[in-house]
Homo-oligomer: A and B are copies of this chain.
Amino acid sequence: MAQKPSIPKGTRDFSPVEMAKRNYIFNSIKEVFALYGFQQIETPAMENLSTLMGKYGEEGDKLLFKILNSGDFLHGMTADEVANTSTLKLAAKFCEKGLRYDLTVPFARYVVQHREELALPFKRYQIQPVWRADRPQKGRYREFYQCDADVVGSDSLLYEVEIIQMIDAVFTKFGARVCIKVNNRKILSGIAEMIGQADKIVDITVAMDKLDKIGLAGVNAELAGAGVPAEAIEKLQPIIELRGTNEEKLATMKEVLKDSETGLKGVEELEWILNTLKVSAGVLKNEVELDLTLARGLNYYTGAIFEVKALDVEIGSITGGGRYDNLTGIFGMPGLSGVGFSFGADRIFDVLNQLNLYPKEAVETTKVLFVNFGEKEMQFCMGAAAQLRAAGVSVEIYPDSVKMKKQMSYANAKAIPFVAIVGETELAEGKVNVKNMMTGEQSLMTAEEMVKQLA
């Protein structure tokens, strides 16, 4: 036999069971999106490179998969010109299109391109693969799905509240316990302003995040090492040691940030969000925690920042997002505020796997296999199968009257829970012998009784 064919490194085939689990995840998320009026869109896998280049930094440009122009991609370049052009520039000459790198830039492009058709605020979600020419490693792929939801065209904090509700609803559906962490970019700006160290905000949040591991003295030493002056470190003490309920934290921050208009605005926004969640929207099933060390997407987010941690599995952030003010500015449409979030599908897949949280029905495909004993019996089985399928029961008929053992091992391989046997005796009675593959129990029944029991 020839060499086994393979797929490009960093890519994956999704086999039936994985696919069923992924469908369960995406369908559950889609149901929640729909409950809040989010609508699905899709954009092409290929975008013009002019849309993608320069949007992800220099490193990102290199990680874009570029598509060779069809036909004469050299466009009459001479050998000399080729020799004297850098690889990166040659790539730009040879390629006009690239594969999308994320769903954010294509969404921004979509909003600008379709702005006349859109009713604002526009709530969209998008579940599609993205491609990155990253070095593949455990848990990092060159093709992976992103699952993003955004509202653009409104700065109402109601959407922050609803996003937290949606995150809570999704993980409650999954039966996975999570902590929903929130922060606000304006609070971080306020802190930086207060201590006069705007450029050190990332170092500060990174150091603060280590309090549990290295203690207060350790954090202070790290801050000093990062070049934060002693006076500023002094002022940071109440923030580093911030503990207690969200209300207590907000009260402290109000005091600490009393001289920063921006900082106070951030506190006020968070206060509104947390209060509104409490008074008006029923009780969330998961905890929402104010966490000042949350600094994801710091260059991009301008208001709320979200991040979700699984409580029962050691894994990084499984969902995140935030408020931004300038999604579409890169395409010449400034001033559109929005807020969005993204479910990490691969990590959620791993969490549900590790905690064994997939419901049986989500991975079950065929419910009944009719064993095949020959032409006459099969025709009877087809009638019964038609009745079951009409009632929504997934049914297969084994295609040939081969040995029972082979037919049963097919049922086992597909984890089919019921096997239906129609031999000469059953045929004479017009009944089916239904075997429960879990318990081994068998019972003789009519097709109608099967429908009643299995539909």
Q: Mark A407-425, 1 if CB is under 8 A from B, else 0.
A: 0011001100000000000
By the criterion CB–CB under 8 Å, are A397 and B5 in contact?
A: no
By the criterion CB–CB under 8 Å, are B410 and A119 in contact?
A: yes
Bound-state CA distance A158–B143 (Å) is: 38
By the criterion CB–CB under 8 Å, are B8 and A414 in contact?
A: no
Given that A35-B389, A113-B6 are known contacts, is A280 also in contact with B13, CB under 8 Å in the complex? no
- Residues of chain B with a CB closer than 8 A to A50's CB: 5
- The verdict on A331 contacting chain B, using a C-beta distance below 8 Å, is yes
Q: Mark A54-67, 1 if CB is under 8 A from B, else 0.
A: 00000000110111
Given that A37-B414, A47-B7, A73-B91 are known contacts, is A281 also in contact with B12, CB under 8 Å in the complex? no
Given that A36-B395, A68-B68 are known contacts, is A382 also in contact with B276, CB under 8 Å in the complex? yes
Bound-state CA distance A146–B197 (Å) is: 55
Q: Mark A35-53, 1 if CB is under 8 A from B, else 0.
A: 1110111111111101100
Bound-state CA distance A378–B161 (Å) is: 12
- The verdict on A366 contacting chain B, using a C-beta distance below 8 Å, is yes
By the criterion CB–CB under 8 Å, are A110 and B65 in contact?
A: no
Q: Could you tell me which residues of chain A, from 114 to 165, have a CB within 8 Å of some CB in chain B? A: 114, 117, 119, 121, 123-124, 129, 131, 133, 142-143, 154, 156, 158-159, 161-162, 165
Given that A68-B94, A70-B133 are known contacts, is A44 also in contact with B7, CB under 8 Å in the complex? yes
Tally of contact residues, A, Cβ under 8 A: 112
Smallest beta-carbon distance A363→chain B, Å: 10
- The verdict on A357 contacting chain B, using a C-beta distance below 8 Å, is no
By the criterion CB–CB under 8 Å, are A394 and B36 in contact?
A: yes
- The verdict on A4 contacting chain B, using a C-beta distance below 8 Å, is yes
A binding-site residues for B, Cβ under 8 Å: 1-8, 11-16, 19-20, 23, 34-37, 39-48, 50-51, 62-63, 65-68, 70-74, 78-80, 82-83, 87, 90-91, 94-97, 99, 109-110, 112-114, 117, 119, 121, 123-124, 129, 131, 133, 142-143, 154, 156, 158-159, 161-162, 165, 169, 276, 279-282, 331-333, 365-366, 378-380, 382-383, 385-387, 389-390, 392-397, 399-400, 409-410, 413-414
